[in-house]
Structure 1
Amino acid sequence: MRTEQNLTRLDRVFARLDREPERPAHLDVPKMSRHRIALFGATLAFYLAIVWLVVITSWLVRLDWLVMFFRPYQQWSGIHWFVDYYVVLGQRGPTAVMVAAWLGWRSWRQHTLRPLLTLGASLLLLNLTVGAAKLGMGRLGPHYATTIGSNEMGLGGDIFPSGHTANAVVTWGILAYLASTPRARRWLSALSAVTSLGVGLATVYLGTHWLSDVVLGWAAGLLILLALPWCEPLIARAEVAIFDLRDRWRERRDGRIPAPVPAAPVALPVPFKTAATASTAQDETTAAREAAQPARETAAPARSPRAPVYLAPGPHTTRSERTPVTPVGSRRPPHSDRLPRGTAASAARPLAGG
């Protein structure tokens, strides 16, 4: 009887991802080039300039009030219904679901989690940077303004910069960032720019944002897209960690323990020997040793046993007066008339001269 394993939805997803062993060769990861760094610096300077113009209540704040008093939603009331639907393209929830569905399909087809991880990293950066700026500057919107002509900063609001505009720039711009070909990247960049521009103007039309909020929202979203190549190494490490965690979870679920990797080469095992084989080999070794021993004794020259040398205490003598010790005795011929220095005979030797 054959039993089939019931696969969960997560198992099916990873099984589909495993069908392709490698990523497609045409996928290229954007890098932080000099051109991109220059654009990032220019956009950051533009961002700070907009904030400064609003803080000092410059001509930009006066323009905000003029647009608010113009009331576009009353001047062009016929398109109000369309703008109400179109502004949804800048809301974080619906747009994140739509873009995540598309990028999830791409991950399915290309055997990589990079599209989804890149989307998650961009939304995280968006929440941190734009959210911190909103709470830090605390600007009130047009519907809650208190003093005509003021910048409405530091009053507890949360509309500067525009979250709808920044979210539209990031969410739709991520499609252009992850495009596979330069041509698709150009078309998607133009489409995301038009979409985010329309979302920003829609919020001004409805009176929920100042014009300067929208301009700063465009700059904030563009900064996130330009900074994404700095996050690519972290995204790659996260992808590897997720797949490793998946593999360990599968092994733990199936009860399989991976074989340990040897740290050093293992020596070959010694073949097993029985008792009879071991005794026969020992007898042959003993016979060969006994046969080789007489031949070794015949070939070795006879040597006289060396007498042990004992170091006894005595008076120090120079090297010329020492007698060399060899295995066969001293080679120096005996001299009957030579006596060691220091004896009584040295006193009877005649002295020269005089």
Structure 2
Amino acid sequence: MCTERKPTRLDRVFARLDREPERPALISVPEMSRHRIVLLGATLAFYVAIVWAVVITSWLVRLDWQVMFFRPYQQWSEIHAFVDYYVVLGQRGPTAVMVAAWLGWRSWRQHTLRPLLALGVSLLLLNITVGAAKLGMGRLGPHYATSIGSNEMWLGGDIFPSGHTANAVVTWGILAYLASTPRARRWLSALSAVTSLGVGLSTVYLGTHWLSDVLLGWAAGLLILLALPWFEPLITRAETWILDLRDRVRERRTSSVPVPTAPVGAPVPLKPRPVPADKEVAAREAAAAAHSPRATVHQPAYLAPGPHTARAERTPVTPAGSRRPPHTDRITRGSAPTARPLAGG
């Protein structure tokens, strides 16, 4: 009868976490293939088309005003609380912390800094490109629009493209970019696309962005993910430099540990002098003779030199005279006592 418990999925997960961290034998790095270059060119053309449609105040601007007058937050007010929380998935601070925590754990497990460095490079490119576009075009948002039907461009705003949407595309898309298997890459790509789509529509629902802002934000985030393989050599060099710097710091710390020295006045141990070959052979023979059973028994140091006999073989000797110590006031037997002086007068 089998009494062993069958391991569950949770047991397998914990067993995998308890394993020693190890670097995979082959980490697949996306390359700038022809397919990716075609997608990059198409996304760039879409980006330019959106900007041009807004600049010339085309049908896209009229659609923006129609959606704004529709006021989705009033039409579907029952989901307003949920959308307020869901739009946080596009904010740069909370999402960067969550994704950095996951990628940091992956870096520790795989003994590589590439996940964290790829996230840092993508966020840096996002801040530069999207920030420059926002400040350069200066479009006002729906809540600050000045005239109906205008494109609200170059009026000092910072709403075009949508930063929430672009950040959602980059932050959640970097997980699919760094996936280790094709299956995980497909699932994470679909999940990041749905998440960023929901974040963009949430900003339109709340009235903080035009619909064209969201479209341009999607294109801006996708451009960064598609162009990221061009920065892989830079990421590799940065990882090598950081690891070399870590090794140098460790060597400095180990070399700066003080070596214990003898106190002042303590005897300094002398090094043994080298012994010639012939003397060394003689010393070995003497040591071997000393340890042999026929070796000469040395007499104790407290005995006088010369032959010594056992105590039973010695001739008994009778001492002459008395063994008592001499005393001046004691009278010897057979002698006349001397007269003592009389005391008194």
Normalised TM-score (structure 1): 0.66
Work out whether 1:27 is the aligned partner of 2:7: no
Question: What is the CA distance between 1:26 and its match in structure 2?
Answer: 4.0
Give the partner amino acid of 2:203.
T
Match of 2:268 in 1: none
Match of 2:176 in 1: 176
Paired with 2:256 and 2:174, the residues of 1 have a C-alpha distance of 40
Paired with 2:20 and 2:174, the residues of 1 have a C-alpha distance of 24
Paired with 1:100 and 1:225, the residues of 2 have a C-alpha distance of 17
Question: What is the CA distance between 1:21 and its match in structure 2?
Answer: 9.3
Match of 1:250 in 2: 250
- SS of the residue 2:62 aligns to: helix
Question: What is the CA distance between 1:20 and its match in structure 2?
Answer: 7.4
Task: Give per-residue Cα distances to partners, 1:100-132, cap 9 Å, x unaligned.
Answer: 000001001111000000000000000000000
Work out whether 1:228 is the aligned partner of 2:228: yes
Match of 1:108 in 2: 108
CA contact (8 A) 1:170 1:224 kept: yes
For 1:182-193, list aligned pairs within 5 A. Answer: 182-193=182-193
Question: What is the CA distance between 1:25 and its match in structure 2?
Answer: 2.1
The range that moved more, 248-257 or 109-118, is: 248-257
- SS of the residue 1:146 aligns to: coil
> Unaligned regions of 5+ residues in structure 1, if any?
1-18, 258-273, 275-354
Change over 3 Å in CA distance of 1:182–1:211 after alignment to 2: same
Paired with 1:246 and 1:61, the residues of 2 have a C-alpha distance of 54
Paired with 1:97 and 1:36, the residues of 2 have a C-alpha distance of 29
Match of 1:214 in 2: 214
For 1:1-354, list aligned pairs within 5 A. Answer: 23-255=23-255
Change over 3 Å in CA distance of 1:47–1:67 after alignment to 2: same
Match of 1:319 in 2: none
Give the partner amino acid of 1:210.
W
Question: What is the CA distance between 1:22 and its match in structure 2?
Answer: 6.7
Paired with 2:139 and 2:20, the residues of 1 have a C-alpha distance of 51
Question: What is the CA distance between 1:23 and its match in structure 2?
Answer: 2.9
Give the partner amino acid of 1:106.
R
CA contact (8 A) 1:20 1:111 kept: no
Q: Which runs of 4+ in 1 moved over 6 A?
A: 19-22
CA contact (8 A) 1:50 1:212 kept: yes
CA contact (8 A) 1:26 1:180 kept: no
> Unaligned regions of 5+ residues in structure 2, if any?
1-18, 258-275, 277-345
Match of 2:285 in 1: none
Change over 3 Å in CA distance of 1:112–1:147 after alignment to 2: same
Paired with 2:49 and 2:189, the residues of 1 have a C-alpha distance of 25
Identity %: 88
CA contact (8 A) 2:204 2:211 kept: yes
Paired with 2:63 and 2:189, the residues of 1 have a C-alpha distance of 29
CA contact (8 A) 1:90 1:199 kept: yes
Alignment RMSD (CA, Å): 1.7
CA contact (8 A) 1:87 1:203 kept: yes
Paired with 1:254 and 1:38, the residues of 2 have a C-alpha distance of 52
CA contact (8 A) 1:20 1:110 kept: no
- SS of the residue 1:47 aligns to: helix
- SS of the residue 2:168 aligns to: helix
Give the partner amino acid of 1:244.
D
Question: What is the CA distance between 1:256 and its match in structure 2?
Answer: 6.2
Task: Give per-residue Cα distances to partners, 1:154-201, cap 9 Å, x unaligned.
Answer: 000001000000000000000000000000000000000000000000
Give the partner amino acid of 1:168.
A
Give the partner amino acid of 1:173.
G
Question: What is the CA distance between 1:213 and its match in structure 2?
Answer: 0.1
Task: Give per-residue Cα distances to partners, 1:284-342, cap 9 Å, x unaligned.
Answer: xxxxxxxxxxxxxxxxxxxxxxxxxxxxxxxxxxxxxxxxxxxxxxxxxxxxxxxxxxx
Normalised TM-score (structure 2): 0.68
Paired with 1:124 and 1:131, the residues of 2 have a C-alpha distance of 10
